[in-house]
Amino acid sequence: MIIRLLYIHGLWVNGWESVLLRARLARELRCETAAFSYPSVGAGIAANARALGECLERTSADALHLVAHSLGGLVLLELFASVLSADGKLPSGKRLPPGRIVLLGSPVQGSSAAQHLARLPFGRSIMGLTANEVLVAPHTRRWNGARDLGVIAGSLPLGLGRLVGPLGGPNDGTVLVEETRLPGATQHLTLKTSHSALVCSAAVARQVAAFLRAGRFDTPPD
C-alpha cells in the first residue's frame, strides 16, 4: 500500500521549512512525503488552488494525507470548495485518494495581523495577492466534511504578527486561536507553541501523526 503525504506551506516560504516535520511524519506513518510550492505573493487564491489540484493530478497513491500550515490551509480549503467536484473528483475526473487533513495555525476566519499590516504603507504589497484575498476581511468558513480534518493552533505568543498591532486573546504570535476554529472540523487542539514552531515541534508532529493515523489526536482536543 502506497501512502503519501503532501505539505502545503504558508506565506513567504516555499516548503523547505517543513523538512523536519515531514521527516518525522515519514517515520511515524511509514509514508512518502513531498511539499507543494506555490507563489503565495504573486498569485491569487484561485490560481494557487488550481495549481494544487494539478499537483494532485500527478500524485499516485492508495492513501493521500494533506498537511497545511498557515495560509496553505486556505489554499487547501479553496481546493475543496472550488476545484474538486462534490464527489471528490479532480477536473480530469480522477478521484482524490482517501486520507485525512491537518491544518496548522491556519487563520480560516481571517487574520487580525493581516488586517493590521494592510493598513501600513506597502502592507498589502508585502502580503501579496492570496493573503489580501482571504485574510484581510473576516470570513465565516465551514468544513464540508469531505474527510476527517483536524486543526492544531498555537498559544505561545511569539511572532512577527505582534509587531504590526495588538492581537488580543490567546495567539501564537501571528494568528489568534479563535481565528483557527473551523466549524465542521473533526477536532481542534491547542498546543503551547508559536506560529513558526508549529512546523518544527516534535509535540506537534506526534499529534499530526496520531490524527492522520486514526482520525483523532492523542491528547484531549479543545
Could you state, in order of their start, the residue ranges of all structural domains in the chain? 3-214
Per residue of the chain (222 residues), what is the pLDDT tens digit?
A: 899 999 999 999 999 999 999 999 999 999 999 999 999 999 999 999 999 999 999 999 999 999 999 999 999 999 999 999 988 899 999 999 999 999 999 999 999 999 988 898 898 999 999 999 999 987 889 999 899 999 999 999 987 766 566 688 899 999 999 999 999 999 999 999 999 999 999 999 999 999 999 999 998 777
The rounded distance, in Å, linking the Cα atoms of 42 and 68 is: 19
Longest dimension (CA), the chain: 52
**Which of 46, 37, 45 has its CA nearest to residue 14?**
37
Backbone dihedral region for residue 12 (phi beyond 0: left; psi -120 to 50: alpha; all else: beta): left
Name the fold adopted by 3-214: Rossmann fold (3.40.50)
Place of cell 494525507: 65
Angle between helices 71-78 and 45-57 (to 10 degrees): 70
